Structure 1
Amino acid sequence: MTTDDALDYYTRPGPFTDPGAHRDALLALPRDVPSLLEAVQGLLIHVHLTWAYEVEHRPEHSEAANVRRAEDLLGRLLADGRPLTEPRPPHERLGGTCRHFTVLTVAALRAAGVPARARCGFGEYFPGPSSEDHWVAEFWHAEEVRWVLADAQIDARQRELFGADLDTADVPRDGFVVAGDAWRRCRAGEDDPDRFGLNAIGEFGDWWIAANLIRDVAALSNVEMLPWDVWGAMPEPGDEIGPELVGLLDRLAALTADPATAAEAREWYGDDRLRVPAVVLNANLGREEPVALG
């Protein structure tokens, strides 16, 4: 795949980044990335961090965090007649996760004609020794001719909370580690797989890295699933990963770890072990759910 082909592909929305009837409202958001990130932060609140904004967690926060489509998120945000350019006070923001901040950012960039994609991996700028399960956006910086990582979730409050000293509009590659790079590093003995996971539930390991690598391949194929959606070859917690799957993940990691070749992972997406099926397990809700990809 040529660079031009990849840029064209990532300018077009996928099923979860298509704003649908809300495209004009989305286009009202700022075009420069730092301002866009700030605008998205004024619309969403992380479902596990409501307390940090002195907001009581409500059931609707968790319910919204299970919404997959940007069109549906935008519909909820616009239901009261306010434009997306109007920041909501924290108690009126829509619940979501890092993935939702990312999907809205990617949707806005694509609507504005900027190639962008969601990336699944691990953040190194959260407290503690672990590398935390996380999603960010990756956009094409035409002037600098490179892919740039951008974290829409980390606002001023979270910078203070986490002690995160970074440019969220240009996150360094050692600050956010894409899942393929985490897999590659652990396979090479350069890092410890038991460092990668989610501190909130105390789960870590190579199985988590493997699952995020499969999620990243789906996202690179414009299918940005929920962070707790499970399908295909994703191992269960503590599963031993067999040699056949290890070989596949090694190949995917080699492609996805480098932003210049990440788009080539799309060529593998047709594999039944990787492709998102019509029904997936929502592990957060403990139930199977249909996924409309048309």
Structure 2
Amino acid sequence: MTDPHDWSRHSPYSDPGKHAALLGMVPTGIPNLSAVARNVIVHYGGFGLELPTSTRGDINSRWLSIMLEVDQQRHAKPLAEPREPTERIQGCCRDHTLFCVGVLRQHGIPARSLVGFAGYHRPDYKNDHVIVQTYDTETQRWLRFDPEIAEPTELLPTPYDIPADADAPFRTAAEVWKGCRTGSLDPNTFGGGPESEFGGLWYIHNYVLMQLAHRYADELLLWDGWGAMTLPGGPDDATLNLIDDIADQLIAVESAVPPADASSMDALLRKRYDDDNRLHPGTSVTQYSPYGDPPLTVPISPGPAHGQSPAPGDWDTSRDRRSKSLSAPGVLQSRSW
């Protein structure tokens, strides 16, 4: 993946499988697309809604084809037709983003997910978050938008074209890591919430790895663990240096103007991602749980078989995209926005 149009092809995660026609019916204009994403998926945190415990397992659906299968089992109608909030798929920002990325790719539009921290949910804290990037061929830039935000707010006046400058309301995980390491940012103001134990430098460290994976089409769950991910109290000095270097590369490739200038940098970073066992997931991940359920080892290579939408846990593992094993435990993530 070095050219913007490389991101117009589906990953195993965004591939709709037998439900491709459903995505083809969804509009690609950002406001309408975002509205459909919110119609299909409700945040598992509820935020004022009492969601059924019987569907809380939705959050681990992982693959867009599975999400669409679950939706159609409940509704059997086009994705834009209204669904009751309590009957929607339970998910989080990663799932709203993956849905939008899948729709855009289905229409041949380059799109990818961007992992970082948002400062527009509350004024004094930056929550872990995932938003959409889509390539605008007219301006030749990657445009950022948040499908979870329906209307402009004081903290986010342009939810469908989020700035990418140094004072932006959304900062990538790599940018936050760099700021914390240089002392310009306080790591204790980034994470799952000011009252949560899931935050600080170790948490940001894991999100740099998550940002890297999502850039190269491994759109993993935010509670997946693999490779160099660490636990509270980490990382060690060697891993600090590794993440320093990866963050520098991510910042450089993300800020290249025009994006075409990122091609050579993307090629080098993608190769490093593929070659280093610490950076990418292998044939499985450790799947933690925001509900506190016991961790599971979950096979992920390469995803549901094409043309099928198996039940969660029934993944096709016949093809190994990398043939590399999980080398270290990950860590539970808390509430992702």
Name the residue aligned to 2:202: 207
User: CA, structure 1 residues 61+98, in 2 after alignment: closer, same or farther (shift >3 Å)?
Assistant: farther
Does the Cα contact within 8 Å between 1:205 and 1:238 map onto a contact in 2?
Answer: no
Instruction: Give the stretch that moved more between structures: 209-218 or 77-86.
Output: 77-86
Name stretches of at least 5 consecutive residues in structure 2 with no aligned partner: 257-261, 303-318, 320-337
Corresponding residue to 1:288 among 279, 284, 297: 297
Return the alpha-carbon distance in structure 1 between the equivalents of residues 8 and 39 of structure 2: 24
Aligned-partner residue type, residue 162 of structure 2: V
Quick check: 1:191 aligned with 2:182?
A: no
Displacement of 1:128? 4.8
RMSD: 1.9
Aligned-partner residue type, residue 133 of structure 1: D
Displacement of 1:78? 2.1
Quick check: 1:141 aligned with 2:136?
A: yes
Aligned-partner residue type, residue 50 of structure 2: E
Return the alpha-carbon distance in structure 1 between the equivalents of residues 181 and 124 of structure 2: 19
Within a 5 Å distance, the mapping from 1:117-136 to structure 2 comes to 117-136=112-131
Instruction: Give the stretch that moved more between structures: 260-269 or 172-181.
Output: 260-269
Quick check: 1:176 aligned with 2:170?
A: yes
Quick check: 1:97 aligned with 2:92?
A: yes
Query: Percent of aligned pairs with the same residue?
Result: 29
User: CA, structure 1 residues 18+253, in 2 after alignment: closer, same or farther (shift >3 Å)?
Assistant: same
Name the residue aligned to 1:57: 51
Return the alpha-carbon distance in structure 1 between the equivalents of residues 198 and 214 of structure 2: 23
Return the alpha-carbon distance in structure 2 between the equivalents of residues 139 and 185 of structure 1: 26
Displacement of 1:164? 4.3
Return the alpha-carbon distance in structure 2 between the equivalents of residues 121 and 245 of structure 1: 19
Does the Cα contact within 8 Å between 2:155 and 2:169 map onto a contact in 1?
Answer: no
Once superposed, which parts of structure 1, at least 4 consecutive aligned residues long, lie more than 4 Å away? none
Return the alpha-carbon distance in structure 2 between the equivalents of residues 63 and 263 of structure 1: 35
Within a 5 Å distance, the mapping from 1:24-173 to structure 2 comes to 24-48=21-45, 50-52=46-48, 55-79=49-73, 80-156=75-151, 164-173=155-164
Return the alpha-carbon distance in structure 1 between the equivalents of residues 52 and 157 of structure 2: 31
Corresponding residue to 1:16 among 13, 18, 34: 13
Name the residue aligned to 2:272: 268
User: CA, structure 1 residues 126+274, in 2 after alignment: closer, same or farther (shift >3 Å)?
Assistant: same
By relative contact order (CA 8 Å, sep 6+), the higher-ranking structure is 2
Quick check: 1:278 aligned with 2:283?
A: yes
Does the Cα contact within 8 Å between 1:120 and 1:179 map onto a contact in 2?
Answer: yes
User: CA, structure 1 residues 57+89, in 2 after alignment: closer, same or farther (shift >3 Å)?
Assistant: closer
User: CA, structure 1 residues 61+133, in 2 after alignment: closer, same or farther (shift >3 Å)?
Assistant: farther
Name stretches of at least 5 consecutive residues in structure 1 with no aligned partner: none
Return the alpha-carbon distance in structure 2 between the equivalents of residues 61 and 176 of structure 1: 30
**Over residues 166-217 of structure 1, what are the superposed CA-to-partner deviations in whole Å (9 max), with x where a residue is unaligned?**
3221112311111111111112221111211111633211111110110111
Aligned-partner residue type, residue 56 of structure 2: S
How many pairs does the alignment contain? 283
Instruction: Give the stretch that moved more between structures: 261-270 or 244-253.
Output: 261-270
Displacement of 1:223? 0.6
> TM-score of the superposition, structure 2-length normalised?
0.79
> TM-score of the superposition, structure 1-length normalised?
0.90
User: CA, structure 1 residues 263+87, in 2 after alignment: closer, same or farther (shift >3 Å)?
Assistant: farther
Within a 5 Å distance, the mapping from 1:231-246 to structure 2 comes to 231-239=226-234, 241-246=235-240
Return the alpha-carbon distance in structure 2 between the equivalents of residues 218 and 57 of structure 1: 30
Instruction: Give the stretch that moved more between structures: 165-174 or 18-27.
Output: 165-174
Return the alpha-carbon distance in structure 2 between the equivalents of residues 60 and 268 of structure 1: 41
Return the alpha-carbon distance in structure 1 between the equivalents of residues 63 and 206 of structure 2: 21
Instruction: Give the stretch that moved more between structures: 20-29 or 194-203.
Output: 194-203
Displacement of 1:112? 0.9
Displacement of 1:236? 0.5
Displacement of 1:255? 2.3
Instruction: Give the stretch that moved more between structures: 272-281 or 78-87.
Output: 78-87
